[in-house]
Structure 1
Amino acid sequence: MTTPRPDCFSQLPLCSLLPLPLRQDGNSAQHQEAVADWSAEVKKMMTLMRTVFNQEQKEKYLSTVMEQVRKGTA
């Protein structure tokens, strides 16, 4: 069982969590590059989270099946 972590970001405005170039207005090349980099990082994080979640689900399923096999209920 995991302990809940404090939501330390709840008091911050969302824009303060973004890298500085993303907080600035405009369509400069630097801004566009920062948006592209940020999007790529978010995609990487989502892929990693999905991979970890899938692995955890696989391990949970396999441990449940193994437990049932040990008990002879499978």
Structure 2
Amino acid sequence: MTTTQYKVKGMTCGHCVSAVTAEVGAIDGVTDVDVDLASGTVTVASTAPLDEQAVRDAVDEAGYEVTGS
């Protein structure tokens, strides 16, 4: 089990949380996604280390931007 945190810019509401959770949760191997709206932190649990570009692409697809990990 691997857990990684990402800083995401632009999330402001519950819809943002749902969109990011759905897109990142669809990545192969992801077992859990926890979004902390107040801090802009997305914590991703997965069965193995994830390709960071895949996470960035998923967050971008949801309409937001990863600013760090």
TM-score (norm 2): 0.23
Which structure carries more strand by proportion? 2
Which structure carries more helix by proportion? 1
TM-score (norm 1): 0.22
